[in-house]
Amino acid sequence: MTPERLLGTRLRQLGLAADMEVATHSNRTVMLSVTARGQLRLHRGYSHAPDRVLRAILRFIDARQSRERRRAAEREFLLFPVHAYAPSSKGPVRLERLRPGDEAVLQRLREMHRGLNVQWFEGTLADVPFRLSSRMKVSLGELCLDARNKQVISIAISRRHLRRDGWAEVEHTVLHEMVHQWQAETDRAVDHGREFRTKAREVGVAPAAARAVLGGNGR
């Protein structure tokens, strides 16, 4: 049996609820999340982690633990080098060559971020680089983090999203990614869990990272 298939068994032996489903992924940004339906999603590199790291994961997802213990557990499992054991199939983020007009778009995104930062986060978030991606076909935006220390690297916005959906929807997407930035910068789990949904409602954005939007063609 592969280490990935053994992961669920190992977690249950260490105390995971028997009815909690475990799934693995290769996401570069979110190492661990619990879905609204109660599925535990882990980076597949954790299949090679020692028991102490898996116990930290169980402490982190246990709502009965204090916030301090959960933060300590998060720091412990984030130190495990998952990418050394299971590199992302996407590989490192490759920057696309700038196209004519891109700099004006990026400047508008940076100014949008600064305005939303003041409006919704009291100006507490750090300035962040933006990049445009032609590879994103489903996701509208993506916050890229350094998995070792949760430092924000950039926010990517889909070129397709910009082209089809207009600036009002792009602002919604930027604000969604800024909620993730807020999670990272306030030492919270970067996921779509309860804290994310609460903060998203506060700032008026939908929690889904890929959502149906009306573009200029009326789809």
Of 210, 207, 209, 181, nearest to 196 (Cα)?
207
**Does 214 fall in a domain?**
no
Examine residue 177 and state whether it is found in any structural domain, yes or no.
yes
In sequence order, which residues have a C-beta less than 8 Å from that of residue 115 and are 6 or more positions away? Answer: none
- 77 and 113 belong to one structural domain: no
Residue 23 three-state SS: strand
Based on the structure, what is the number of domains in the chain? 2
Q: What is the CATH number of the domain that holds 70?
A: 3.30.2010
Query: Please, which residues have CB within 8 angstroms of residue 188's CB and are 6 or more apart in sequence?
Result: 182, 195
What is the sign of the dihedral through the CA atoms of 137, 139, 143 and 145?
negative
Together in a domain, 109 and 151: yes
Q: Which two tokens mark 81?
A: 């080098």
Low-confidence ranges of the chain (pLDDT < 70): 1-4, 28-29, 84, 87-95, 147-149, 207-219
Residue 90 lies in a domain: no
pLDDT (0 to 100) of residue 27: 72
Query: Is residue 63 classed as helix, strand or coil in its secondary structure?
Result: coil
In this structure, are 136 and 189 located in the same domain?
yes
Report in angstroms the alpha-carbon separations of 56 from 37, 71, 161.
Answer: 22, 10, 38
* Domain that includes residue 192, residue range: 102-203
The answer to whether residues 114 and 177 belong to one domain is yes
Q: Parallel, antiparallel, or unpaired for β 40-43 and 22-25? A: parallel
Does 166 fall in a domain? Answer: yes
In terms of domains, do 121 and 180 share one? yes
Asked whether residue 91 is domain-assigned, the answer is no
d(CA 180, CA 145) in angstroms, rounded, equals 10
Give the whole-angstrom CA distance, residue 158 versus residue 175. 14
pLDDT given for residue 212 in this prediction: 33
Residue 209 lies in a domain: no
Same-domain status, 110 and 177: yes
Token code pair at residue 136:
């994103």
User: pLDDT per residue over 112-168, tens digit each?
Assistant: 999 999 999 999 999 988 999 998 877 788 888 876 667 788 899 999 999 999 999
As a whole number of angstroms, the distance between CA 47 and CA 63 comes to 23
Instruction: Give me the CATH number covering residue 136.
Output: 3.30.2010.10
Is the same domain home to 132 and 41? no
The pLDDT value given to residue 213: 35
What DSSP character marks residue 181?
A: H
114 and 162 in a common domain: yes
At residue 214, the pLDDT reads: 33
Is 96 inside a domain boundary?
no
Cβ–Cβ < 8 Å for 22, 16: yes
Coil, helix or strand for 66?
coil
- Give the H or E element holding residue 152: strand 152-158
**CA distances (Å), origin 181, targets 33, 86, 172, 199, 216:** 16, 25, 14, 12, 29
Whether 157 maps to a domain, the answer reads: yes
Identify whether residues 22 and 61 lie together within a single domain.
yes
Domain boundary among 59, 85, 111: 85
Instruction: Note the pLDDT of residue 122.
Output: 95
